[in-house]
């Protein structure tokens, strides 16, 4: 399944954040017994107020959220692309993820050593991104070499080699692959094959202290500015505080957030932003046994969405009965929606929308 890799220099708060995510996983683990537990992976429920609203209307026995997977990629240091630290293994782990959460230290604390002896978010980001670019350069170099050998037998490769070389020049100037632009028709194919690390979407995560939660400091401004320049997502969080927060009961938790004048914890923001960055959306099933969010890709059609529940549902798909979330809430039940004529019957070409409340009909 799709996952987000957590990267950043040592001592910036990655493990602390990952522990908080793991706690969020374990708090709900009864509902996710189907997930295999891996030490460096957290399968975290996506907060979604709409599920609570639906549950309030339907009174189900249980509520199940969508999930998003985070992978802890510890050990990325300067020189990783040359095999320093545990270099190559970690780069291989990042390559398998679909998006990156880049944690950046934005707090002062003399008790927490910084690997470069000072707090400087933009320099830190550059150190990590340089390693990732160098790793991509190696992959691209190998590919160009192989394509040039194959060119004699396959002249059709010429446009692909040409755009690969332009991309190489771009990386050589220390630019990430994500900012490379070209009209070449061969580019999408090349990028698909290479799965470059620096082509992935990045969420920049400023790890701040308690003051930084409510007030910008220069570190935070620098990271947000970079994220804006890149067209990337930005989230601020206090990893240490989140780790303490995860265990709290709902009410204490809300009170705590309110005391900081915020409505959503950084952890929840990261989870939601991550889900969105992976191009995922949720549809709902709302039965008396279970109200549940199901994870699909933005753009999936109805049969594919049915297949997430069970492969038989996709194979035997007949039609979907769909109620928009707002209509379900307005009328309060499937029966009422049917009566009011807002339950739509959709066929196999229907493109699912985020928040659809769905009932699939299928042949076995």
User: Which residue in the block uniquely carries the two structure tokens 């309030």?
Assistant: 56
13 binds ligand GDP (CB under 6 A): yes
Stretch that binds ligand GDP, among 12-20, 40-48, 248-256, 345-353 (CB under 6 A): 12-20
Q: Which is nearer to ligand GDP, 66 or 93 (CB)?
A: 93
User: How is residue 33 annotated by DSSP?
Assistant: T
Stretch that binds ligand GDP, among 23-31, 45-53, 233-241, 331-339 (CB under 6 A): 233-241
Stretch that binds ligand GDP, among 36-44, 236-244, 247-255, 328-336 (CB under 6 A): 236-244
Consult the annotation and say whether 15 binds a ligand.
yes
Consult the annotation and say whether 11 binds a ligand.
yes
Burial 44-64 (b: 16+ CB within 10 A, else e): bbbbbebbeebbeebebeebb
Kindly report the number of other CB atoms within 10 A of residue 363's CB atom.
Answer: 9
Minimum CB distance to ligand GDP, residue 116 (Å): 13
Q: Which DSSP string do the residues of 305-356 spell out, in sequence order?
A: HHHHH-HHHHHTEEEEEEE-HHHHHHH-SHHHHHHHT-PEEE-TTPBP-TT-
> Per this entry, what is the length of the chain?
364
Long-range contacts of 33-40 (CB under 8 A, 24+ apart): 35/67, 40/71, 40/72, 40/73, 40/74, 40/93
User: How is residue 47 annotated by DSSP?
Assistant: P
Consult the annotation and say whether 89 binds a ligand.
no
Stretch that binds ligand GDP, among 120-128, 137-145, 237-245, 337-345 (CB under 6 A): 237-245
List CB contacts of 40: < 8 A, sequence separation 6 or more.
71, 72, 73, 74, 93
Minimum CB distance to ligand GDP, residue 268 (Å): 17
5 binds ligand GDP (CB under 6 A): no
Binders of ligand GDP in range 91-120 (CB under 6 A)? 107, 109, 112
Minimum CB distance to ligand GDP, residue 225 (Å): 21
Q: Which is nearer to ligand GDP, 23 or 331 (CB)?
A: 23
Binding site for ligand GDP (CB under 6 A): 8, 10-16, 107, 109, 112, 207, 209, 238-240
Binding site for ATP: what residues are annotated? 11-16
């Amino acid at each position: 399944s799709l996952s987000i890799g957590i990267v950043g220099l040592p001592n910036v708060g990655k493990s602390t954040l990952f522990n908080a995510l793991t706690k969020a996983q374990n708090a709900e683990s009864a509902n996710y017994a189907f997930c295999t537990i891996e030490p460096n992976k957290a399968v975290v429920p996506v907060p979604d107020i709409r599920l609570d609203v639906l549950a309030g209307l339907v009174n189900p026995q249980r509520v199940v959220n969508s999930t998003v997977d985070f992978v802890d990629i510890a050990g990325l240091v300067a020189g990783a692309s040359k095999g320093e630290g545990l270099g190559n293994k970690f780069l291989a782990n990042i390559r398998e993820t679909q998006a990156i959460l880049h944690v950046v230290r934005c707090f002062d604390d003399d008790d927490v050593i910084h690997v470069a002896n000072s707090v400087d978010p933009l320099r830190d980001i550059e150190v990590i991104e340089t390693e990732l670019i160098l790793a991509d350069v190696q992959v691209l170099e190998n590919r160009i070499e192989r394509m040039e050998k194959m060119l004699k037998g396959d002249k059709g490769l010429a446009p692909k080699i040409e755009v690969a070389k332009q991309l190489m020049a771009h990386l050589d100037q220390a630019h990430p692959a994500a900012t490379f632009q070209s009209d070449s028709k061969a580019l999408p194919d090349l990028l698909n094959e290479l799965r470059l690390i620096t082509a992935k979407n990045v969420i920049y995560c400023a790890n701040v202290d308690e003051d930084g939660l409510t007030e910008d400091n220069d570190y935070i401004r620098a990271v947000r500015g970079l994220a804006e320049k890149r067209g990337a997502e930005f989230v601020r969080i206090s990893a240490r505080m989140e780790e303490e927060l995860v265990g709290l009961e709902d009410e204490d938790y809300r009170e705590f957030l309110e005391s900081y004048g915020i409505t959503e914890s950084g952890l929840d923001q990261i989870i939601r932003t991550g889900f969105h960055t992976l191009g995922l959306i949720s549809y709902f099933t709302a039965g008396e046994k279970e109200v549940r969010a199901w994870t699909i890709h933005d753009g999936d059609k109805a049969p594919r969405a049915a297949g997430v529940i069970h492969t038989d549902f996709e194979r035997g798909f007949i039609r979907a009965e769909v109620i928009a979330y707002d209509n379900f809430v307005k009328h309060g039940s499937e029966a009422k929606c049917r009566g009011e004529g807002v339950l739509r019957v959709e066929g196999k070409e229907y493109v699912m929308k985020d928040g659809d409340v769905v009932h699939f009909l299928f042949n076995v």
